Amino acid sequence: MKLERLRAIAIGVALLLIWELVGRLAGRLLPPPSEILAQYWRDRDVFPAHIWATTRSAAAGFLLGNAAAILAAIAFCRFPLLEQLFRGVNIALFTVPAIVIGPIFVLVFPGDLPQIVLAAVLVYFPTMAAMLVGLNEIDPRLSDLVRIYGGREAALMRFVRLRSSLPSLLAGLKVAASLAVLGAILGEFGSGVRWGLGTFLLGSLSQGDAPRLWSIGLAATGLAMIGYGAFALIGAKTTGATKAVTLANKLPDRLGDRAGRRGGAQRLAILLAAILTPFVLWEALIAATGLSPIIAPGPIETLSYLFVSPDSAAARATLLNAVGETLPIAALGLVSGLAAAFLLASFTVLQPRLARLVLPVALVAQNIPLVALTPIVLLLFGRETLASVFMAVLVVFFPAYVLLSQGFALTPHAARDLVRAYGGGRFKELRLIATPYSISYLFAAAKLVAPQALLGVMVAEWLLSGRGLGNLLNVSRGNLDYDMIWAGAMVSILISVAAYQSVAALERLWR
């Protein structure tokens, strides 16, 4: 154990030295660690305040979002119908490109609240999903046992479900912790607050000062990793058990499970209700905040802005144009990211030892807040389309790789041994056994990352390229074009949900 730790430290130090060396030779793009450290020192007057502001918003959003997520998971477990009705809301919250609702929250909430609420929104889904899976997946014998003593659902919840969901909940919280940091930073982009890593990043991007950009990206990553690590540690301490490393990815499949038993008409009614619920909630929330319909239009106003109002044609043209710029890039990023992940993950079969080295890196990397990557992307690819593509690939690759290598690792050994017993090599094993087995993981990964690809492209567009949907939202925000902000947000969410649902539909076709 100690030796292993020493070796890890040695590898870390070696990597730092190589980085330093390459940094000194490569010059501007990759500043050496010593220069980044010096930058921290130069910015020592402002850095702590920026970090503190982001930490505060992230922590508040983390608490808020997780409280909602835990209560929701318990309610969904107790009343499956409720979960079906809220499916539309849940999928929307899962797929929502966080950057599009940031500007809306800025319109609706005062002060630090936009960042906090955005962090809470990002945190909600992974925690809710992980907890719900934990609550639902209990040993059926335990349910029998409680019933044998006259216990009902309440007793089962109290004695069995809550405690058995703990490892799963902690796995969700781990992911949520780093998402809270991302949410806080994305919220700062639009809110014009004085302090925060997002504000700092936005202000520094135009200067193109590599050491400073890296220092901000690393600070954001560090913050997210501290949260992630804290919950990983708590998880390891309290449960000891090795739980699946991926979080919530299971849920979207699981959501569909219990719908089967109802009749056709009833199912259609539930489906319609699930589609309508998000819009009803939208209307209700606006009514509750009492905001002017000019700043905060409801679903009906937004639809009429796009289809009925005098400038609807112009608005539609602008939006369609932006979508036309964004979608191909997101699709390209998604496909290439997935392909790269699939190829690399197949090394799990071809080169198990190499895979064992890469997986921990990917596990950590998938939790790096994507805004922390923006500086690197800017420095490497500039502000052109390629930057947007690369951003999407980056966001897609790591989670997809983690999920796919699990898929490859989980192929039944007996099936693989069978190939070997007949003298087949590793490539045969990959082709005949591992690849077919991991196709379902490919779909799961695609569902998970399709919305992320869109988010990645939109962040790049907002911060770097100045094109597409991301830029449209940023510009509308600057022009106080409220109708366009809401319409753009709605369209982005709908695209994201559509992307998710089409992967799900493809998956059903495949089966």
Partner 1 sequence: MITALATAGLGAAVAFRARDDRMEAKPMAEAAVDLIVDRVAKVFPGPQGPVTALSPTSLKLSRGSFVAVIGPSGCGKSTLLRIIGGLETPDQGAVLIRGKSPEQFRAEGELGIAFQDPALLPWRSVRRNVALPLQVLGRRVADHAGQIDALIQLVGLAGYEDALPSQLSGGMRQRVAIARALVTEPSVLLLDEPFGALDQILRRAMNVELQRIWMKSGATALLVTHGIDEAVFLADEVAVMRAKPGRIAEIIPVPFPRPRDPALMTTPEFHEICDHLAALLGEAGDEA
Binding site for partner 1 (CB under 8 A): 139, 141-142, 144-151, 155, 159-160, 163-164
b/e per residue 34-73 (b: at least 16 CB within 10 A):
ebbeebeeebeeebeebbebbbbbbbbbbebbbebbbebb
For partner 1, the closer of residues 151 and 229 by Cβ is: 151
Cα-Cα-Cα-Cα dihedral sign, residues 344, 346, 351, 357: positive
Q: How far apart are the C-alpha atoms of 235 and 205, rounded to whole Å?
A: 37
Q: Least CB distance from residue 159 to partner 1, whole Å? A: 6
Task: Name the residue among 84, 173, 100 with its Cα closest to residue 473.
Answer: 100
Nearer to partner 1, 45 or 144 (CB): 144
Using only the alpha carbons of the chain, give its radius of gyration.
24
Q: Which of 210, 248, 197, 240 is nearest to 449 (CA)?
A: 248
Output 163 or 508, the one with its CB closest to partner 1.
163
Closest contact distance (angstroms) between CB of 143 and partner 1 is 9
Minimum CB separation of residue 155 from partner 1 in Å reads: 5
Cβ contact 224:182 at 8 Å? yes
Nearest to partner 1 of 171, 358 (CB atom): 171
Q: Is the Cβ of residue 162 or residue 295 nearer to partner 1 in the bound state?
A: 162
Compare residues 151 and 424 and give the one whose CB is closer to partner 1: 151
For partner 1, the closer CB: 238 or 479: 238
CB atoms within 10 A of CB 6: 10
CB of 267 to partner 1, least distance (A): 18
Supply 49's token pair.
Answer: 């305040």
* Closest distance to partner 1 from the beta carbon of 444 (Å): 26
Minimum gap (Å) between residue 139 Cβ and partner 1: 6
Backbone angles phi, psi at 423, to 5 degrees: 80, 10
Closest separation between CB of residue 507 and partner 1, Å?
A: 22
User: How many whole angstroms separate alpha carbon 396 and alpha carbon 388?
Assistant: 12
Measured from the CB atom, the residue of 142 and 409 that comes closer to partner 1 is: 142
Q: How far apart are alpha carbons 140 and 162 in whole angstroms?
A: 15
- Shortest Å, Cβ 347 to partner 1: 34
Least spacing, CB of residue 297 vs partner 1, in Å = 49
Q: Which is nearer to partner 1, 150 or 263 (CB)?
A: 150
**Residue 423, Ramachandran bin (φ over 0: left; ψ between -120 and 50: alpha; else beta):** left
Question: Which is closer to partner 1, CB of 75 or CB of 155?
Answer: 155
Q: What are phi and psi of 367, to 5 degrees?
A: -105, 5
In angstroms, the Cα distances linking 56 to 64, 102, 112, 172 are 12, 17, 9, 20
CA angle 359, 361, 366 (to 5 degrees): 95
- As measured in angstroms, the least distance from the Cβ of 511 to partner 1 is 16
- Nearer residue to partner 1 within complex by CB, 134 or 375: 134
Query: At residue 288, what is the residue type?
Result: A
Contact at 8 Å (CB) between 220 and 371? yes
CA atoms within 13 A on the CB side of 204: 27
Distance (Å, whole) CA 140 – CA 149:
15
- Least gap, CB of 167 to partner 1 (angstroms): 10
C-beta separation of 100 from 493 below 8 A: yes
